[in-house]
A and B are shown apart, each in its own frame.
Chain A
Amino acid sequence: MSKLSFRARALDAAKPLPIYRNKDLPDLNDCVSINRAVPQMPTGMEKEEESEHHLQRAISAQSVFREKKENMVIPVPEAESNITYYDRLYKGELRIPKQLFHIQPLGLDNEQPDYDMDSEDEILLNRLNRKMEIKPIQFETMVDRLEKASTNQMVTITEAKLLLNEDDYLLKAVYDYWVRKRKNCRGPSLIPLIKLEKRDGSTNNDAYVAFRRRTEKMQTRKNRKNDEASYEKMLKLRREFSRTVTILEMIKRREKSKRELLHLTLEVVEKRYQMGDFTGEVLSEVTAPLAEKPVYTVPITVTNGNRHNHKAEIKIKSGGLPYHGYHHVSVKDEDPFDFVRPKKKYTRREPLCRPGRPAKRQHIVNKADIKQYDFHSSGEEDYPLSPSSEPDEENDPDGTFAFRRKAGCHYLAPCLDQTSGLLWDHPELAGLDALRHRQSLTALSVPQRCVGLARRRVGRGGRVLLDRASSDLDGVLKQLDSGVFSSSFPKGLSDHQVPTQNHRTMPGSASSLTDLLSNIQALRWRFFRPRSTQGDDSGEGRTGRPSMDNRLSGGLFVHTKNSGSGGITEEQYQVHQQALAQMQKQQLAQLQLKTAGSTDCIISKTLDSAGAHFAASAVISAPGQVNNENKPDNTSVNGVVQPLVESLPPHSTSTSQGGTGLDRSGRTPSSGGPLLPASHSTTPQSLPNHRGHGSAVSPAHHHHNARPSPSSLKLATMATSSLDRVPKVTPAISSMARDNHEPERLALNGISETTVPMEVT
């Protein structure tokens, strides 16, 4: 059979090849030609060289003889190894160390000159040595430096002097010699160097240029020109995609957290509802231990009343006030503020609820609450409301008028003049005392409440903001609240707020309501309360208050002259006074009951109600600005007329209270708890009445939902209702006043009158 009649299978490198000796296979020769079936492997040589004579001869000799014969080797140029002076050249011996050499390449350049002296130099050196001693190494160093400084241009003699720092004669001699030698030198340098590439590419084909730097070039396949560009594009694409993926993942995470937060909030609210924790007592109790972090009172912006932040944290104007830190009063040194923290989250979101719309949502408490989360499901995190308290902010609650500390400056507490009658001369005050120097007891008119320590600022557009501070007095103040509602102050007192007291005398005593009251009465504590504006009150308020104000604020008080315009009736005032008195009584009574031990729950109550107050006050005081929008139309007298005016505390409350509010206050003198039902009832009532009112309230609802404190809600609604009336009262003042004012709104006018600038340093 023909040897070529079949095709050999391809050689499989993975297949075992049996090994035979030729003698074992006598018939092997039959197969030899098949060998060609195995493809011939290339030698790896360049073809033309492969055919070179000597190689072919050597290969053939090898294949014939299996061993190279001497004369069949590839001839190479000769080399000699008989340098006789070798031993003289390379002096010394080296003993082989036991260890393998391990050398750090960095240590190689030990500052030896690269220049090596030649015989010509030696002649010069010998000549110079007749006059002075100069070692070869010294000479080499000099030339070396000259050379290395002359990369582009030869150094001048002056430069050489600086460079070499040698004796002038020597320097001159060497320099002149060097210049001469360099001129005769054929190379670019006396130190022979490999030719370097020029960056312009002109040396790309210069055979003497070696060791070019490798430019970072992508290794793509040859002969595919577009590869590099497209590869770059792919790289870019990849980078961008991966960035997108990262962003999306982060968004996912954020949204998940949001959902979780929402669910948790919902759950909390439901739980609280089930257990009837309408005042937030339980919540604060529970959350108290959790809140380890520094606590801040978040400032209250008294805005146009669209929203009540009954959380007492932040009132944010729809416009998105630039809330930066200085709005926050952070009181780090005071513990009992834990409740603030849990609320923070709500308030943070709040700004996003468009103030104009909330009417739709007012009823659906929980849904609205949820909604507000949906609202800004992305990106709004940058809301400037971060409650973080920076050191500066703590001391800087004064808004635009704030005094700002500069880093590195040491500030002493201001020394106020005596007019204040306060304790400024006691810089050593700490804690509560210190607080009281900045904040004053403040009460709101609409939710008739004392909100505790607060101070007033004017925000953008003339809104009045209250910065609240927490103190351990809050518990007591809370009682003060109820007292305000239930009892009327003794006439002289009740009329105005302003009690100041100095606390330093009685640090401990402040904890009791009696003390507090007495302090207030003794005017040792400043207590800003809304004046009851009704009727003749205006007169009285004026009489009483201005003096007070002057005393307190050093004349900064701006009194609303137009108070008269408000149609506050004397009856109203009377009623109010009564209410106040009753409140006072109540407070006193409560004081008896409650001891310091029960502070916890007191605090929580205080908080809520206080928050409500703030919200309410916000509603009251600010609305003017937003007037033209479909916001709660009420022009707040405060806001418009006198930006500086403080929103006034409760007992001077507006007519609304005069109507509903007063009743209520009468009804609900006791603690927050009892108030709640009433508040609920109120809400529906008041809302339908006025459109603006409704809208104003709705934000409160949000808060409410989030933080269901019915009392606050009630207060808020009261506030709003009162607000609605305001415009009516103050048409003269505010041209922006809404059309549909109603007579009862006069109250606000009173408020505006009664507002006392809260002058706080």
Chain B
Amino acid sequence: MADSSVDVVEGCRLPVLRKNQENEDEWPLAEILSVKEIPGRKLYYVHYIDFNKRLDEWVTPDRLDMKKLQFPKKEAKTPTKNGLPGSRPSSPESEVVRVVGAVSHYYSVGNGTARRPMPNQPGRKRKQPPNCGGTDEDSQDSSDGIPSTPRMTGSLVSDRSHDDIVTRMKNIDCIELGRHRLKPWYFSPYPQELTTLPILYLCEFCLKYLKSLKCLQRHLTKCNLRHPPGNEIYRKGTISFFEIDGRKNKTYSQNLCLLAKCFLDHKTLYYDTDPFLFYVMTEYDAKGFHIVGYFSKEKESTEDYNVACILTLPPYQRRGYGKLLIEFSYELSKVEGKTGTPEKPLSDLGLLSYRSYWSQTILEILMDLKPDNGERPQITINDISEITSVKKEDVISTLQYLNLINYYKGQYILTLSEDIVEGHERAMQKRHLRIDSKCLHFTPKDWSKRGKW
């Protein structure tokens, strides 16, 4: 085993043992992203192919199925069209290559430089949309050779060309935040010296990062915050929303972003927080207003985005808070008199949450429509959009997703099937947390008139 493990390098693919949700063993194919040696043994950072990155983890060699090891394809074999070898991601062979002797063929040992680019090249390949995988351009990268800086609007990265092995790997083991210990899902640019700590401590209220419990204790003697440092614009029951200006309260905004980045793959922290507002949802108890989740929002969006990043912290997930955040974001849009849509790309969880919210919101409207003096109730997509502040495209996609749109006798109709209706009613019964627009104290500001953000 020991000798074979020597051969396992970054870029290799092989089945790796993991437990599924039913606690069963499975051996999904995984890619070795990194190898590190700790006293006594080696650890491999693996990414399970077709699994979300958040499940990537360090594994011990005994979880690797060395028999099915496949090496990264030799670089020279895939000359790029633009004649720049190395810029073209090399992709592993799709079939299993199990012959160890093939190393020289598939893996250019002698290539001293290969080691460095190798690991991230598969990653880059992976980042590219499948349909343009064969093309050589790094999507939107300008071709002048100067590494372009990301666009300055928005908060999410759709262009992953700068993604490298560093950001592909989680760098924080564990974050302690108030009562919770969180396992980060993704990379976050906390100060590098803190990434080696077993636990990163965060002040629950100001989100300052501290290296030890002692420091946190000391910090808490000085930090008297018991709620996010912004204006409370909504409170109903124990749920409150605080609005924080990314320009006026940089420290908190940055701390919040660092934390959020741990759970948002596409979030970028490349630029400062100035053009954003942060809406932090908290739950009150005797200790204070505990952060549950948040969403950020561009002060001025050129693309009708009403949400930039949105996150329910893991301890609060799957309890309806996400939907509450989404609902709140649309309430703000309603006050602004605009329709909005979340910034793209959506994450898997984001897509599910939004779809769920859209579905419930639209179905709520459709089912509430009463026949109008004997006529069949009818509604336009624009009407739905206006009522809900959900952007028209999202309404259509939801109607499609729910399979409500049908073409019948020369016109489009909306059909509500039994199971849709039942499913909706069941879901709504479980949806206790709702935003009460009467509790919202929010005046939209015209940021365009306020100078730069």
Question: Residues on A close to B: CB < 8 A?
Answer: 8-9, 11-23, 25, 28, 31-32, 34-35, 37-38, 40-55, 58-59, 62, 66-67, 71, 73-83, 85-87, 89-91, 93-96, 100-103, 105-106, 108, 112-113, 116-119, 122, 136-137, 140, 185-187, 192-195, 204-205, 207-214, 216-217, 219, 222-223, 225
> Which of A91, A95, A210 meets B189, CB within 8 Å?
A210
Is B179 in contact with A81, judged by CB distance below 8 angstroms? Answer: yes
Q: List residues of chain A with CB within 8 A of the CB of B366.
A: 19
- Return the contact of B413 from the options A19, A103, A105, A192 (Cβ within 8 A): A19
Asked if B338 is at the interface (CB within 8 A of a chain A CB), the reply is no
* Interface locus among B66-74, B81-89, B98-106, B180-188: B180-188
Q: Which residues in chain B, 353-402, are within 8 Å of chain A measured between CB atoms? A: 366, 369, 376-382, 385, 392-394, 396-397, 400
Task: Check: B321 CB closer than 8 A to any chain A CB.
Answer: no
Judging by beta carbons under 8 Å apart, are A16 and B378 in contact?
yes
Contact B418 A23 (CB under 8 A): yes
CB-defined contacts of A32 to chain B, threshold 8 Å: 406
The reply to whether the CB of B78 lies closer than 8 angstroms to some CB of chain A is no
Is there an interface contact between B183 and A79, defined as CB atoms closer than 8 Å? yes
Q: Can you list the 6 inter-chain pairs with the closest CB atoms, starting with the nearest?
A: A41-B397, A66-B423, A187-B193, A77-B183, A34-B407, A13-B381
The yes or no answer to B327 lying at the interface (CB within 8 A) is no
CA distance A20 to B414 in the complex (A): 6
Q: Quick check: B382 and A118 within 8 Å, CB to CB?
A: no
Dominant secondary structure of chain A at its interface with chain B? loop
By CB atoms of chain A within 10 A, which of B193, B405, B415 has the most?
Answer: B415
From 164 to 210 in chain B, residues with beta carbon under 8 angstroms from any chain A beta carbon are 164, 166-167, 176, 178-185, 187, 189-194, 196, 204, 209-210
A169 CA to B153 CA in the complex, in Å?
53
* Bound: A21/B415 CA distance, A: 5
6 contacts between A and B (CB under 8 A): A43-B351, A55-B52, A118-B212, A211-B273, A214-B272, A219-B152
Tell me whether A79 and B181 are in contact in the complex, defined as CB-CB below 8 angstroms, given that A8-B407, A19-B376, A94-B286 are known contacts.
Answer: yes
Residues of A within 8 A of B135 (CB): none
- Chain B residue contacts of A209, Cβ below 8 A: 189
Q: How far apart are the CA atoms of A119 and B190 in the complex, in Å?
A: 22
**B229 pairs with A108, CB closer than 8 A:** yes
Q: Which of A17, A52, A66, A105 is the one whose CB lies under 8 Å from B249?
A: A105
Using Cβ atoms and an 8 Å threshold, which residues of chain B touch A122?
Answer: 214
Contact of A45 among B216, B348, B385 (CB under 8 A): B348
Q: Which residues of A contact B334 (CB under 8 A)?
A: none
Q: Can you add 12 more A-B contacts, CB < 8 Å, to A19-B414, A117-B215?
A: A18-B376, A31-B408, A66-B420, A73-B318, A77-B314, A81-B315, A85-B213, A94-B286, A95-B286, A103-B229, A186-B196, A192-B193
Cα distance, A636 to B176, chains bound together (Å): 104
Indicate which residue in A40, A58, A96, A212 contacts B400 across the interface (CB closer than 8 Å): A40
> Distance in Å from the Cβ of A116 to the closest Cβ of chain B?
4
Alpha-carbon gap, A102 to B12, bound state (A)? 54
Pick the contact of B392: A13, A81, A217 (CB < 8 A).
Answer: A13
| Shortest CB distance B62–A (Å) | 21
- Complex CA gap A49/B156 in Å reads 15
CA distance A118 to B219 in the complex (A): 10
For A194, what are the chain B residues with a Cβ–Cβ distance below 8 Å?
189-191, 254, 258
**Complex Cα spacing A118 to B210, Å:** 10
Q: Which residues of A contact B211 (CB under 8 A)?
A: 118, 192
Residue of A17, A93, A100, A207 near B187 (CB, 8 A) is A207
Expressed in whole angstroms, the Cα–Cα distance for A122 and B190 within the complex equals 25
User: Bound complex: CA of A86 vs CA of B411, how far in Å?
Assistant: 61
B422 touches A219 (CB 8 A): no
Q: In chain A, what residue has the closest Cβ to B290?
A: A90
Tally of chain B residues near chain A (CB < 8 A) = 148
- Establish whether residues B249 and A108, one from each chain, have CB atoms under 8 Å apart when the complex forms: yes
A100 engages B231 (CB within 8 Å)? yes
Query: Shortest beta-carbon distance, A56 to chain B, in Å?
Result: 9
What's the minimum C-beta distance from B188 to chain A, rounded to whole angstroms? 9
Indicate which residue in A34, A83, A212 contacts B271 across the interface (CB closer than 8 Å): A212
How long is the Cα–Cα vector from A222 to B397 in the complex, in angstroms? 27
Tell me whether A79 and B287 are in contact (CB under 8 A).
no
Measured between beta carbons, the chain A residues less than 8 angstroms from B184 are 77
Q: Which residues of B contact A38 (CB under 8 A)?
A: 396, 400, 405, 412
Distance from A197 Cβ to chain B, minimum over Cβ atoms (Å): 9
Least Cβ–Cβ distance between A124 and chain B, in angstroms = 13
What residues of A have a CB within 8 angstroms of the CB of B227 in the complex? 94, 101
Q: From A216, which residue of chain B is reached at the shortest CB distance?
A: B452
Contact between chains at B397 and A211 (CB < 8 Å): no
B-side contacts of A195, CB under 8 Å: 189, 191-192
The 8 A CB mask of B25-64 against A (1 = contact, 0 = none) is 0001000000000000000000000111011000000000
CB of B269 within 8 Å of the partner chain: yes
When A20-B376, A194-B258 are in contact, do A187 and B218 touch as well, CB less than 8 Å?
no
Q: Is the CB of A185 within 8 A of B193?
A: yes
Give Cα distance in the complex from A95 to B286, angstroms: 6
- Do B131 and A47 touch across chains, with their CB atoms under 8 A apart? yes
Residues of B contacting A18 in the complex (Cβ-Cβ under 8 angstroms): 376-378, 411, 413-414
Q: Which residue in A12, A67, A73, A204 is a CB contact (below 8 Å) of B147?
A: A204
Contact between A17 and B179, CB atoms less than 8 A apart: no
In the complex, the answer to whether A43 meets B346 with C-beta atoms within 8 Å is: yes
- Give the segment of B1-9, B109-117, B122-130 that binds chain A: B122-130
Taking A118-B211, A140-B218, A222-B140 as contacts, is the C-beta distance between A20 and B416 under 8 angstroms? yes
Contact A86 B179 (CB under 8 A): yes
- A49 to B7 CA separation, bound complex (whole angstroms): 29
Query: CA A359 – CA B73 in complex, angstroms?
Result: 102
Q: How far is the CB of A563 from chain B (nearest CB, A)?
A: 79
The smallest beta-carbon distance between A334 and chain B, in angstroms, is 56
- Asked if residues A113 and B222 are in contact (CB atoms below 8 Å), the reply is yes
Inter-chain contact B183/A105, CB cutoff 8 Å: no
A55 touches which of B190, B352, B407 (Cβ 8 Å): B352
Interchain CB contact (< 8 A) of B191 among A59, A95, A187, A212: A187
Residues of chain B lying within 8 A (CB to CB) of residue A89: 213, 216-217, 220
Q: Does B437 have its Cβ within 8 Å of any Cβ on chain A?
A: no
Q: Smallest Cβ distance from B8 to chain A, in angstroms?
A: 23
**Chain B positions 233-274 with a Cβ under 8 Å from a chain A Cβ:** 233, 235, 240, 242, 244-245, 248-252, 254, 257-258, 266, 269-274
| Bound Cα distance from A216 to B274, whole angstroms | 13
Are B284 and A96 touching (Cβ within 8 A)?
A: yes
| Most A C-beta atoms less than 10 A away, residue of B152, B158, B441 | B152
Complex interface: chain A residues within 8 A of B418 (CB):
21-23
Q: How far is the CB of A663 from chain B (nearest CB, A)?
A: 81
Interface centre among A12, A44, A217 (most CB of B within 10 A): A44
Contact: B414 with A51, CB < 8 Å? no
In the assembled complex, the CB of A195 is this many whole angstroms from the nearest CB of chain B, namely 7
Q: How far is the CB of A521 from chain B (nearest CB, A)?
A: 79
Min CB distance A502 to B, Å, is 70
- Known: A47-B129, A55-B348, A187-B192. Contact between A214 and B396, CB under 8 A? no
- B180, B233, B251, B348 — most chain A CB neighbours (10 Å): B348
Are A67's CB and B426's CB within 8 A?
A: yes
| Given A37-B407, A90-B288, residue A13 in contact with residue B380 (CB < 8 A) | yes
| Residue contact A11 to B381, C-beta cutoff 8 Å | yes
A119 to B249, CA, bound (A): 30
Residue B448 interfacial (CB < 8 Å): no
* CB nearest neighbor in B for A99: B232
Q: Which of B289, B317, B413, B427 has the most chain A CB atoms closer than 10 A to its own CB?
A: B413
Q: Are A46 and B345 in contact (CB under 8 A)?
A: yes
Shortest B319–chain A CB gap in Å is 12
Q: In chain B, what residue has the closest Cβ to A23?
A: B418
Provide the bound-state CA to CA distance between A74 and B385, in Å: 29
Which residue in A14, A34, A80, A94 is a CB contact (below 8 Å) of B226?
A: A94
Nearest chain B CB to A343's CB is how many angstroms away?
A: 52
B191 touches A31 (CB 8 A): no
CA distance A47 to B348 in the complex (A): 11
- Shortest A611–chain B CB gap in Å is 60
